[in-house]
């Protein structure tokens, strides 16, 4: 169930959010992918794989199908199909690309805000993800403790040496030093429109008071920069809905509003779907 802030985050960029059930059948999945303009893997606290057997969770299996689809349509049709993964989304895409669940490490930063350290001196020019961001927003991201993290897992930078397919596929854009190790804070695929962050830019749109987010004009600017950038990326896709009523049936806002989120002590709007 995507949190309220994820839906608002996408709408801030003028995007309409539809949901993809984690256990969606191939019969439903591929016709949907052929009509949408990209996929956003939200944060979450799911076990992406069985820690005893290493077997991927059905959510991760569906994620692998989406990853392969994005690569296939780019390679065979030159179709631009962007993927954005935030927090758990970053972790998911790394274990899928590495084809090894051990690519995912441990680091705890729970309900806290920090800055991030860009790898390149000018991320606006040296990356696609940050190419549309104002310089003031990028400077604030690097110098102020304003980026919200909530995770116990992460991808250590040294795993890019351990798993060569990671460094061949992704370019690390920024890092954080957490638990005495550098972790990947943001990255993008070298040859595909796939983008990842460990921090949550969308959280400033979450109304819950006990989420320790920094809500200022600067963090709002960062969130809207991400949302607008995602809208521009999505607009590069040639996919269109064949049937407006079908689109309405999959829209996130049609979900049944749900109640409490476990780690938040207040009522937070989320969406549940019967599939």
Which regions of 20-82 does DSSP assign to beta strands (E)?
A: 39-41
> What is the distance between the alpha carbons of residues 4 and 22, in angstroms, rounded to a whole number?
18
Q: Which of 80, 87, 149, 151 is catalytic?
A: 87
DSSP state string for 160-210: HHH-HHHHHHEEEEEEEEETTEEEEEEEEESSSSEEEESS-GGGGG---TT
- Residue 145 near residue 114 (C-beta atoms within 8 A): yes
DSSP 115: -
Q: Which of 94, 149, 151, 200 is catalytic?
A: 200
Please report which helix (H) or strand (E) contains residue 213, including its range: none
87 is catalytic: yes
The sign of the dihedral angle between the CA atoms of 145, 193, 230, 198 is negative
57 is catalytic: no
Residues labelled catalytic:
87, 200
């Amino acid at each position: 169930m995507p949190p309220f802030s994820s839906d608002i985050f996408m709408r801030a960029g003028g995007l309409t959010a539809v949901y993809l059930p984690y256990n969606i059948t191939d019969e439903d999945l591929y016709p949907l992918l052929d009509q949408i303009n990209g996929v956003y893997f939200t944060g979450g606290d799911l076990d992406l794989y069985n820690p005893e057997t290493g077997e991927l969770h059905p959510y991760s299996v569906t994620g692998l199908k989406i990853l392969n689809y994005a690569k296939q349509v780019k390679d065979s049709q030159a179709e631009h199909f962007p993927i954005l993964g935030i927090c758990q989304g970053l972790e998911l895409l790394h274990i899928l690309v590495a084809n090894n669940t051990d690519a995912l490490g441990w680091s705890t930063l729970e309900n806290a805000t920090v800055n991030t350290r860009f790898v390149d001196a000018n991320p606006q020019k040296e990356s696609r993800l940050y190419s549309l961001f104002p310089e003031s927003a990028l400077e604030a991201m690097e110098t102020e403790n304003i980026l919200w993290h909530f995770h116990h897992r992460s991808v250590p930078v040294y795993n890019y040496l351990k798993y060569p397919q990671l460094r061949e596929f992704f370019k690390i854009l920024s890092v954080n030093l957490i638990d005495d190790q550098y972790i990947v804070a943001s990255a993008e695929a070298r040859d595909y429109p796939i983008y990842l962050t460990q921090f949550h830019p969308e959280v400033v749109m979450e109304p819950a008071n006990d989420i320790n987010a920094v809500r200022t004009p600067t963090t709002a600017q960062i969130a809207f920069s991400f949302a607008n950038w995602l809208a521009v990326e999505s607009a590069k896709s040639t996919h269109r809905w064949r049937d407006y009523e079908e689109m309405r049936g999959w829209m996130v806002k049609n979900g049944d509003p749900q109640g409490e989120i476990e780690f938040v002590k207040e009522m937070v709007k989320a969406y549940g779907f019967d599939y």
